[in-house]
Each structure stands twice: as C-alpha cells, then as structure tokens.
Amino acid sequence: MNSKERIVSFPRMGNIHIPISAFLREMSANIILPQANSKQTLTIGARYSPEMICLPYKMNLGNYVQALEQGANTLLMFQAPGTCRLGSYAKMAENKLRELGYDFEMIVFDLYGGKFKEVMGKFSLATGNKSVTKAIAGVKICLAKFDALDKIERELLFIRPREKNFATAEKVYNKGKDLIDKARTPEEVKTAVNYTMTEFKQIYLDKSKEILKIYLTGEFFVLLDPYVNMDIEKELGKLGVEVDRQIMLSEWVGQSLIPGWLRKKETHKERAIRTSRRYMTRIVGGECVETLGDTVYAAKKKLDGVIHATPFNCIPEIISQCILPHVSLKESIPVISLLMDEHTGKVGMITRLEAFVDLMRRNKRKKQKGFAVAGPA
C-alpha cells in the first residue's frame, strides 16, 4: 500500500486518542478517529468475538469494524508479552477482520521493554513520514498531552467528591480536555492546563463532608475507559469517595517506553513488585502484580478500601482475585472485586458500590472509636 493512501485508525481507550492523534497529526497522517466506545461498539465486537474472550478484545474489534466501515485501511495495535491474551489480540483480530472481508494492513507495536526506537519505526511506516524533526515534535506534543490529561484528571478525582454542586468539576474537566485536544504545541497544552486548574480553583467545596479515600486498581483497559467501567469514578464521587487511581496513562507510557536505566524514580510497577512480594513472587502478565501491590500499599497508607475492577475472564486478574481476600485479611483493608462484561448491569454495580461504601464508612467510624475492623467485602 502506498503510504499516501494510508488512512490510519486505532482502538479507543479512555483519553488515549487525544495524544495519539496529536502525534499522528504531527506526522501528517490521514486519520480516522474511531467513535467513542459505546453500546454499539461493544455489540459489534461481541458479535464477532469468541464468547469467553475478555472485554478489551471485544471493544477493540468493535472499534476496528467501525473504523474500517468509515474508510480506514491501516490499523494500529499494541501488544504485550507474558501470559496475558493481549499478545494474541492483534493476530486474532486481523484474522477475523479478513474473514469478514475487509482489506487493510495491521501494524503491531510491542510497547514494552523500552522499545522506543522500534515503536517510532512502526509509526513511521504507518504514516509514511520519515522526518526525524516531525517525529520529535510529535513525541513532544504527545507526551505533553499525556501529562496534561493526567494532571487535570487527578484534580477532578480530588474535587468530585468534595464539590458543593455535583458535576461542576466534570464540566471544567471536559472543557479542559477539549482545550488540550485542540492545542497544537506543548506551550498551548500548558496554557490549557493552567486555565483548567484556575477554573477548578473556583469550585466551591463542602468542607463538612466525610470523605472516604480508596485505591481503584485492576485491569488497565477497564480502569481507563469510562464506558467500559460504567463511570465508576463518577459514581464513587457521588457517594463521597475520593478515588486514587494508581494506573494513569502518562505513568504507563513512561514505564513502557523509557528504559529502566534512564528512569529517575521507582515506577508504579516496580513499587507493586516490591510491595506484593509477600503474596506473589512472579509476574503473570496483565496488571495482576499491580493489583496486589496497590492493595498492600493502600493498607500501608491507611486508605479506607480498595476497589478491584476487571473484565470477566481476564486471566491475570482471576489470579489476583483469588489472592485478594487473603491480602485483605492480612493487611486489614476492605477489598471488593467488580467484574465487567457486556452482561454487567450498571444498577447492580451501583448497588454493590453503595454497600461497599457503607462498609468502609462503618469501618472508619469504628477505627476512630478504637475498635478492630474487618477485611474483605
């Protein structure tokens, strides 16, 4: 395929399309931005997927079908090593899409292990642009947007449970996201962040609220995509719970692409390996070790609880789910596991969240009075 004819697309996951599109635009690529994840995406993906495959695969396949229908002919996909199914997603999706009669090229990245050079080579192939200057400019704006999005998202997570008028912070955040998306240079990104942070400061907080603080941990895709996790962070915010999500996009990009010897501080994964050592001595793929490590760390930081969100049938998270009740008891921290797939109902999830929040609140009050408290929910 002539690179000039390439029309590039890639799967959606939370906000990731904003920095990736910025990079591709800088490389003068012709892009078709997939539609935001929705029931329609999931219905298409589930229709053509093996029933027991995990949810991210179904969503990715749905994204690809929608993008190909819109005219894309080059699909980007990243894969990971280990026992996680992500290693076989690209090939499986490619085979299925060819079986459905689509004509396209799939370009697969192996993001892990500091393979920055190879990743850049693949992007260059996908966009047909070999300019190093353009690539450097693309990386700069892309990284600036990853950082900026995480910065305003962290602020949203802090303000949301505390604000007097619920959803004001959400509006500020959405506007900020839009400004970051439209920014064309790292300077414009900075201006967008400063503006958004100033807007956040205007929000009136209710200081009398009793706020609980939890870690939200689990599988990467579920944590980062609000459609897939059924807006769990927003629902917790309504219940007066501050969510501290340890898995963030910029952290993931940094630890995946930057070689260890260039990093200055311990990454999230390194911390998780260290803190989970008592319960797990080998890495089994996905975010299993992060889930266990985050739970131990949350207990050490005296947080009120841990919510573990995972796709139904995710292999690494099945392992962590089996170990978590033990960790919860040993570390004295309440933990709940929520499994998501196309059959999960939002109302059921909210009911479980409400019950868990009640338990955490009771635990907190008991602790304040000096009583012993319980572990798993």
Residues that bind ligand SF4 (CB under 6 A): 54, 56, 84-86, 219, 221, 286, 311, 314-317
Separation CA 38–CA 36 (nearest Å): 6
Q: At what angle do helices 116-127 and 17-26 cross, to 10 degrees?
A: 70
The tokens of 235 are what?
């629902």
- Compare residues 84 and 357 and give the one whose CB is closer to ligand SF4: 84
Query: Concatenated DSSP letters for 132-194?
Result: HHHHHHHHHHHHHHHHHHHHHHHHHHHHTTTBSSTTHHHHHHHHHHHHHHH--SHHHHHHHHH
Separation CA 25–CA 10 (nearest Å): 13
Residue type, 199: E
- Compare residues 26 and 317 and give the one whose CB is closer to ligand SF4: 317
Separation CA 106–CA 275 (nearest Å): 38
Least CB distance from residue 153 to ligand SF4, whole Å?
Answer: 21
- Compare residues 77 and 193 and give the one whose CB is closer to ligand SF4: 77
- Compare residues 50 and 71 and give the one whose CB is closer to ligand SF4: 50
Least CB distance from residue 315 to ligand SF4, whole Å?
Answer: 5
Separation CA 28–CA 134 (nearest Å): 9
Residue 118: its H or E element? helix 116-127
- Compare residues 80 and 357 and give the one whose CB is closer to ligand SF4: 80
Task: Give the three-class secondary structure for 360.
Answer: helix
- Compare residues 197 and 315 and give the one whose CB is closer to ligand SF4: 315
Torsion angles phi and psi, residue 213, rounded to 5: -125, 130
- Compare residues 111 and 156 and give the one whose CB is closer to ligand SF4: 111
